[in-house]
Structure 1
Amino acid sequence: MLPSISVNSHMQGNGALNSRDAARHTAGAKRYKYLRRLFRFRQMDFEFAAWQMLYLFTSPQRVYRNFHYRKQTKDQWARDDPAFLVLLSIWLCVSTIGFGFVLDMGFFETIKLLLWVVFIDCIGVGLLISTLMWFISNKYLVKRQSRDYDVEWGYAFDVHLNAFYPLLVILHFIQLFFINYVILTDTFIGYFVGNTLWLIAVGYYIYVTFLGYSALPFLKNTVILLYPFAPVILLYGLSLALGWNFTHMLCSFYKYRVK
């Protein structure tokens, strides 16, 4: 004999989750769970987060396959483990300190630069971009027959973090080894190397962002997220023709910030 299921036990008669189960899936509940784990390092899977960071360079599609698996097992696209964010923050702090060292900044100037980069460039700009992409994707990219689905804001933030990590490593770490002896030498080789690194970094950001939204089966026309490649390549060619050095501009901006 099959066990009987009461209306209030798990699912209501119309197939909707009861109030207790529905509460577990609200954005507020997910956010609370995520923030609570942010201070419990023993519960974080740093090994898996490091694996994701590696594959964001070599095979970013594999990272988003894991997001599919999370949706199937935990009913959410966004990460529920802040380990990736913690490792990214460490990378950001270390690379910014390295930037301060390369630019011959003092201790307090480096700390000031670090605060600017963490709270404005990473968190502030990240929240702005994530919110903008969340709005655009839900407003214009959701398929008409999939209006019951929506892009989670947390997932939009995760996509930004995924795309930001390769950009951070290229511009804030790899580039450090070439700044003083190659990039800032005011020669064609200097701005060619520097601007090429910028092209690769921004290209990674665009491509990983595209992969993030194209991984959602209820979105359409995500190929438009690749369109920024055209103006970026055009700007790259123009910069070489006119002798613009993006890294020199960045260094000057960083020095201006900490005055």
Structure 2
Amino acid sequence: MSSFTRVSSPGSNYSRVKSPLPMPATTRYGCTSAANKFYKYVRRIFLFKQMDFEFALWQQVNLFYKPQQVYRNFQYRKETKSQFARDDPAFLILLAAWLIVSSAGFSISLGINFIGYLKFLIYVIFVDLIGVGMVISTILWYISNRFLLKPAFKDRDVEWGFSFDVHLNAFLPLLIILHFLQIFIYHIFIERDWFVSTWFGNTLWLIALGYYIYITFLGYKSLDILQRTHVFLYPLTVLAIFYIFTLAFNWNLSRSLMFFYKNRVL
């Protein structure tokens, strides 16, 4: 749909001029339905040539030191494409690729055979990344729309796709810390019975989960239709208490994780 800069009226010196630019997304009629958006997103998963992997990689790098900039791009997408959620699955594909590599490292470290590796990989991608992510996204999507919308924006809502994108953003640092960094020092140091090993391994968990919570908070904070978004930081208190609890009982979370992973593929 094209927009017009002026509309002539009797006695006016202005003529009707057609603009080459589309109307802003916020004023378009007949915006794409959520089901249609989802269909287009899934269809593009198999169209690699249409994906912008360079931009997706830029986002992943910036999530570590400039996450606010990543969410600023979500605002730009809303203005241009009438949706906050990504319409390009390149970010998800890259995340799955990192899981393929990290799962191979886990399999080598734990002595898992190739069939076990495939079972483990399927579980990590479709349960840990997508399945758990859908559950968390749905819960936070419901809380946002039910309790956190500003009164002036009751006619609008948080897109479920955006909530899932926030999960993907927050999952990346967790993946790098627990699936990449940890694997290189697990057998050397973390799996020992020493208290300092428990402390170090559990501290990695604290940082990874804390990062997940913080990036989740930044995602919902970037939406101007929400209020009281600080509630997304409340789990940090629970996380800190749990961290102290694990240290008090010398519970090595990393060793428990490795045991759990290994038993997934037996």
Report the TM-score, using the length of structure 1 for normalisation.
0.91
- In structure 1, list runs of 5 or more residues that go unmatched: 11-15
Q: Check whether the contact 1:67–1:77 (CA below 8 A) recurs between aligned residues.
A: yes
- From 102, 114, 118, the equivalent of 2:121 is 114
Distance 1:103 1:144 in 2: 53
Could you list the per-position Cα deviations for residues 36-84 of structure 1 after superposition, in whole angstroms to 9, with x for gaps in the alignment? 2211111111111001001111111110000011111111100011110
Residue 54 of structure 2 corresponds to residue 47 of structure 1:
yes
User: Residue in 2 aligned with 1:180?
Assistant: 187
Shift of 1:192: 1.2
Residue 72 of structure 2 corresponds to residue 103 of structure 1:
no
Shift of 1:153: 0.6
Shift of 1:173: 0.7
Q: Which has the larger radius of gyration?
A: 2
User: Residue in 2 aligned with 1:256?
Assistant: 263
Q: Check whether the contact 1:182–1:189 (CA below 8 A) recurs between aligned residues.
A: no
Distance 1:43 1:116 in 2: 28
User: Residue in 1 aligned with 2:78?
Assistant: 71
Residue 178 of structure 2 corresponds to residue 132 of structure 1:
no
Provide the aligned length of Structure 1 versus Structure 2.
247
Shift of 1:4: 10
Residue 87 of structure 2 corresponds to residue 84 of structure 1:
no
Residue 250 of structure 2 corresponds to residue 243 of structure 1:
yes
RMSD: 1.8
- From 221, 231, 235, the equivalent of 2:228 is 221
Distance 2:100 2:113 in 1: 16
Q: How does 1:166-205 map to 2 (within 5 A)?
A: 166-205=173-212
Amino acid in structure 1 at the alignment position of 2:170: A
Partner-residue secondary structure (3-state), 1:180: helix
User: Residue in 2 aligned with 1:143?
Assistant: 150
Distance 1:242 1:254 in 2: 22
**Identity within the alignment, %:** 53
- From 58, 63, 76, the equivalent of 2:65 is 58
Amino acid in structure 2 at the alignment position of 1:126: G
Could you list the per-position Cα deviations for residues 14-35 of structure 1 after superposition, in whole angstroms to 9, with x for gaps in the alignment? xx85xxx51x421122112212
User: Residue in 1 aligned with 2:11?
Assistant: none
User: Residue in 2 aligned with 1:156?
Assistant: 163
Distance 1:189 1:108 in 2: 35
Shift of 1:241: 1.9
Amino acid in structure 1 at the alignment position of 2:215: V
Could you list the per-position Cα deviations for residues 199-235 of structure 1 after superposition, in whole angstroms to 9, with x for gaps in the alignment? 0000000000000000000101100110111111111
Distance 2:83 2:166 in 1: 14
Amino acid in structure 2 at the alignment position of 1:169: I
> Runs of 4 or more off by more than 6 Å in structure 1?
none
Amino acid in structure 2 at the alignment position of 1:248: R
User: Residue in 1 aligned with 2:3?
Assistant: none
Point out the more displaced range, 146-155 or 35-44.
Answer: 35-44
Could you list the per-position Cα deviations for residues 108-154 of structure 1 after superposition, in whole angstroms to 9, with x for gaps in the alignment? 11111111111111111111111111111111111112101100010
Partner-residue secondary structure (3-state), 1:243: coil
Q: Answer 1 or 2: which has greater strand percent.
A: 2
- In structure 2, list runs of 5 or more residues that go unmatched: 1-7, 9-14
Partner-residue secondary structure (3-state), 1:149: coil
Report the TM-score, using the length of structure 2 for normalisation.
0.89
Partner-residue secondary structure (3-state), 2:96: helix
Amino acid in structure 2 at the alignment position of 1:99: F
Shift of 1:3: 3.8
